[in-house]
Amino acid sequence: MDNAFLQIIVKNNYKLPKEYTPAEITPQLLSNLGSTQSDVRETSYIILCDLINAGVGVNYSPQQLREIKEQMTQNLTYGIGEKESDSVFVRAFSILVLDKLIAVDGVNHYLTEPEIRDLLEQGLVYLAAEKDLRGHVPQKGWAHAIAHAADFFWVITRNRFLDAEDLKRILNAIADKVSEPVAHVYIYQEDDRLAQVVISALLRNLLDMAFLNIWLDRFINPPSGIVWREAFSDEANVNARHNTIMFLRSLYFQLLLGIQYVHHTYPNKIPTMRDELLSETIRALKAIDHWVYANKE
């Protein structure tokens, strides 16, 4: 299935040619998610999303959606741990498809609680294990695995089956990912996408400031054991410091200004603990970047 054929579908308002059914075309669309040609990969993803977003029973039965889910979760381990290989496209676009499958469940409720919890576990394991942190890859287009993982968590945090303990695990996983020593600085707004997950979790009104203060302390004293004042002696630690500061800044301004998401009205609210969390986020920033910010309130 080449890009010319895919463009025929796009130009036909994403309607498949009459001689094809969703079941017939889906295996190739899923295979294309790992293509190194960005037009093939991204167009296949968009077509697949359109088919999924139509809802349960329109293009896919619940069982067919589950089969897609199983393939996508298996894909999350494909080449995991590799840092600059083409396997990242398979993983990065599979986590995006899972995001859409969960979003449809939010409307049609076709997944069970054990299935949602399994997806949460798969997502948490994937976020921790993903080592290819590239955003836009020259000649090959977007990989953006961490941003795509953030999109997955942005959706699953809203799921009816997730409780406060689940949200805490997600926020802790983000803190650990952001603050880990790495050879890569996030430059493609991964910090913004990850901060949006926190906003989504806060809007469930299940988290309290006692947890959030402990969570912010996780940035100040990360599990890796980095001492931020000494980070400049090691490039990986400097990168971790930069990523951590940028994430906290993104969180601060999203709390202050709100976030804009054109496809959903859910974010058009203000977290109930916003003012207190703004103050505590400043506390964390001052503790990490004490050379820049004055201590005066």
Question: Any idea how long the chain is?
Answer: 297
Report helix, strand or coil for 141.
strand
Q: Both tokens of residue 191?
A: 């910090």
Same-domain status, 21 and 84: yes
pLDDT digits (tens, 9 = 90+) for 27-53: 999 999 999 999 999 999 999 999 999
Over 60: is that where the pLDDT of 250 sits?
A: yes
Q: What is the DSSP letter of 137?
A: E
Q: Do 71 and 96 belong to one domain?
A: yes
56 and 157 share a domain?
Answer: yes
pLDDT class for 149, splitting at 50, 70, 90? very high
Domain hosting residue 94, numbered range: 1-161
70 and 190: one domain?
no
What's the token pair of residue 165? 């303990």
Across residues 234-243, what is the average pLDDT? 98
Q: 147 and 237 share a domain?
A: no
What is the number of helices (H) and of strands (E) in the chain? Answer: 12, 2
- What pLDDT is attached to residue 261? 66
**Of the candidates 93, 244, 239, which has an alpha carbon nearest to the alpha carbon of residue 175?**
244
pLDDT at 95 over 80: yes
Tell me, yes or no, whether 135 and 212 share the same domain: no
> CA 224 → CA 32, 92, 228, distances in Å?
37, 25, 11
Confidence label for 192 from pLDDT (cuts 50, 70 and 90): very high
Same domain, 92 and 143: yes
d(CA 41, CA 226): 38
pLDDT tens per residue across span 157-172: 999 999 999 999 999 9
Two tokens, residue 93: 């676009």
Of 283 and 292, the one with more pLDDT: 283
Cα separation, 282 vs 87, whole angstroms: 38
Residues 131, 175, single domain; the answer is: no
255-280 mean pLDDT: 83
SS (H, E, C) 37-86: CHHHHHHHHHHHHHHHHCCECCCECHHHHHHHHHHHHHHCCCCCCCCCCC
**CB 10, CB 46: distance < 8 Å:** yes
| Overall pTM > 0.85 | yes
Cα separation, 184 vs 195, in Å, equals 18
* Residue 54: pLDDT over 60: yes
- Residue 164: Cβ within 10 Å count: 14
pLDDT at 267 exceeding the cut of 70: no
Give the count of domains, the chain: 2
Answer yes or no: do 128 and 172 share one domain: no
Which tokens is 187 given? 């430059």
Q: What is the pLDDT at residue 259?
A: 84
Q: Which of 108, 128, 161 is the last residue of a domain?
A: 161
State the average pLDDT over residues 104-109.
96
Same domain, 21 and 53: yes
Calculate what percentage of the chain has a pLDDT beyond 70.
Answer: 96
